Structure 1
Amino acid sequence: MGKHVIVGSGQVGTHLAAKLLARGHDVTVVTRSGSGPEGAVRVAADVTDRRRLVQVTEGADALYNCVNPRYDRWLTDWPPMAASFLAAAEATGAVLVILGNLYPYGPVTGPMTEDLPLRPSSAKAAVRARMWEDALAAHRAGRVRATEVRGSDYFGPGATDQSYLGDRFQGPLRAGRSIALPYPADVPHSWTYLPDVADALVVAGTDERAWGRPWHVPTSDPLSFREVGERMAALLGRPAPRITRIPWPLVRAAGLFSPMLGELGHTRYQFTEPFVLDSSAFQRTFGVTPTPMDEALKATLDG
């Protein structure tokens, strides 16, 4: 068994820590507050403090970047964090496992595969693209061992209130009210289950076949918002929900007062056209499949 250092104890880091602990690994969780799950060594640290992160990572087999700064702070927060992760991986020899996303691909036509070029369509997406490009360059230069794991929009037990399938979706559904969305209800979209994200990260940190390239988390076939609502309603024994559309000009106006709402315009393309993740490479290479969708939705409703 090895030592694994997870930076971040949010919706992904918590699942990852639990899975590594269940496998008998020594797990250290690093957060600003020193919080983390029972069974893990909990360390309070600022990830931008390179010396401190190197100290915490000494002797580790893998270092996981599961940090999630607020979306409106990516331009300021990510660069120093990413530099610190690279420095710690280089100084200690720990495999650097980055929790990535699909933003760097930009708008695409057809399913997304890992060999697509990175064509970010916003400054924030470009920051994420640069993080992977820097890590990959360091890997190819022999300075670090690195990989990145990318998923689509998260759902599942422990998802944050920013999840599109979280309380803002489930609350009206459970109460029999209309679900109001700022996006079309019938566009196919890939949804990635949080425990599957953690499983993919475990593989990425422990299997050398994963290093030196990005991977997509095993993800089920895409479903529209309406299809998700119908399947959730069926699991609850309720009629299919009614879905209404919030006019986009109202969303933009609200964004003048809410930084997070103001950021939705950067990713609107992900919901107005089919947004489909192809995870066949990971599934084929490592023999891992996504959790069946109804099972995942039931756990989400129960969680």
Structure 2
Amino acid sequence: MSRHVILGKGPIGRTLAGLLATTGHDVLVLSRSGAPTPAHRRAGRSTGPGTITHAAIDGTDGRALTASAAGAEALYNCVNPPYHRWATDWPPVAEALLQAAEATGAPLVIAGNLYSYGAGTYPMREDSPLASTETKGVVRAAMWREAQARHRAGRLRATEVRGSDYLGPEAEQHAHAGPRMLDPLLAGRRLAPIGSADQPHSWTYLPDFACALASAATEPAAWGHAWHAPTPEPLTYRELATRFAEAAGAPRPRIAPVPMWLVRLIGVGQPMLREIHRIGYQFTEPFVLDSTRSQQVLGLAPTPWPTIIAETLAAR
């Protein structure tokens, strides 16, 4: 049994905490409030000997993070600030985590995403250039480059696991394939995805994301590099919605995509949609990752689509 420390209690953080506790580890989850949400209590139920505890912390406080991570087997960055605050909120949190990893010697495992590759990267692989010119992608690329530079300098151990849009039992309302899709789908109402419903898209299952983070934490071959969470074959939004409908016995999906010009118009008054418009290519062109290499290194395979759909529906 070992001790793991997670900063962030969103869908990725709480799925990871539940996995680690179930496999016998003690987990400390750090957040601003220090209180578990009802969803975290559900995800954190453990059938193994591990425990999950919560504590409040300022994620920009390197000293506090260092004290919390002392003696930890691994330190995980599962934070996700609001889209419109990435440029201001991410840098101090990332720096504090690097300080804690350097001071404690705990490997830093970063829950990443695909934004840093930028438009036109198809398929996205771990060695694809971090070519994004969009603010959020630039921020995430800078975070990883700094972590990797310090790793190569021997100051700390770091790795990053990148996933695509996630889905699964713990997905929240903002997830494109979460309740935002499933609630109207199962009620027979019209779906309104952003951009297009017919472009191939990778969807990462939250439990697979968590497994990859946990594996990367203890696999020395993973340190110093970025990896893709094991992800099954891509599906268009329409294909995914249809599979969910068929499995649930719901009516065939009625889909009316929201055009990007309208997203831009609404985004004038809504910061979240304004930021979504800036990464509109993710919804209007193929957005596909290749996780072949990481599956080999981490010894993992993606959960098959029938299981993903069945488990997601069963958790509702």
Please give the range of the TM-score, normalised by the shorter of the 2 chains. Answer: over 0.9
Q: Given the alignment of the two structures, is residue 233 of structure 1 paired with residue 275 of structure 2, yes or no?
A: no
Match of 1:171 in 2: 183
Distance 2:255 2:232 in 1: 23
Match of 2:129 in 1: 117
Superposed, which structure 2 residues align to 1:1-303 within 5 Å?
1-36=1-36, 37=41, 39-303=51-315
Q: What letter corresponds to residue 11 of structure 2 in structure 1?
A: Q
SS in 1 for 2:192: strand
Q: CA deviation at 1:211?
A: 0.6
SS in 2 for 1:104: helix
Q: CA deviation at 1:21?
A: 1.0
Q: CA deviation at 1:181?
A: 2.2
Q: What letter corresponds to residue 78 of structure 1 in structure 2?
A: W
SS in 1 for 2:119: coil
Distance 1:267 1:248 in 2: 10
Deviations 1:141-191 (A, max 9, x none): 000000000000011111121100122211221121221222111110000
Q: What letter corresponds to residue 189 of structure 1 in structure 2?
A: H
Which segment drifts farther, 15-24 or 90-99? 15-24
> TM (normalized to structure 1)?
0.97
SS in 2 for 1:81: helix
Contact kept, 8 Å, 2:208 with 2:230, in 1: the verdict is yes
Which segment drifts farther, 96-105 or 172-181? 172-181
What runs of 5+ residues in structure 2 fail to find an aligned partner? 45-50
Measured on the aligned residues, the alpha-carbon RMSD in Å equals: 1.2
What runs of 5+ residues in structure 1 fail to find an aligned partner? none
Q: What letter corresponds to residue 135 of structure 1 in structure 2?
A: A
Contact kept, 8 Å, 1:9 with 1:35, in 2: the verdict is no
SS in 2 for 1:131: helix
Q: CA deviation at 1:25?
A: 1.4
Q: CA deviation at 1:54?
A: 0.7
Q: CA deviation at 1:208?
A: 1.2
Q: What letter corresponds to residue 14 of structure 1 in structure 2?
A: R
Which segment drifts farther, 230-239 or 242-251? 242-251
Distance 1:245 1:6 in 2: 36
Deviations 1:266-286 (A, max 9, x none): 211112111111000111223
Count of paired positions: 303
Q: CA deviation at 1:42?
A: 1.4
SS in 2 for 1:6: strand
Distance 1:180 1:245 in 2: 5
Q: What letter corresponds to residue 305 of structure 2 in structure 1?
A: M
Over the matched positions of the two proteins, sequence identity in percent amounts to: 53
Deviations 1:172-224 (A, max 9, x none): 21121221222111110000000110000110111112111000000000000
Q: What letter corresponds to residue 77 of structure 1 in structure 2?
A: D
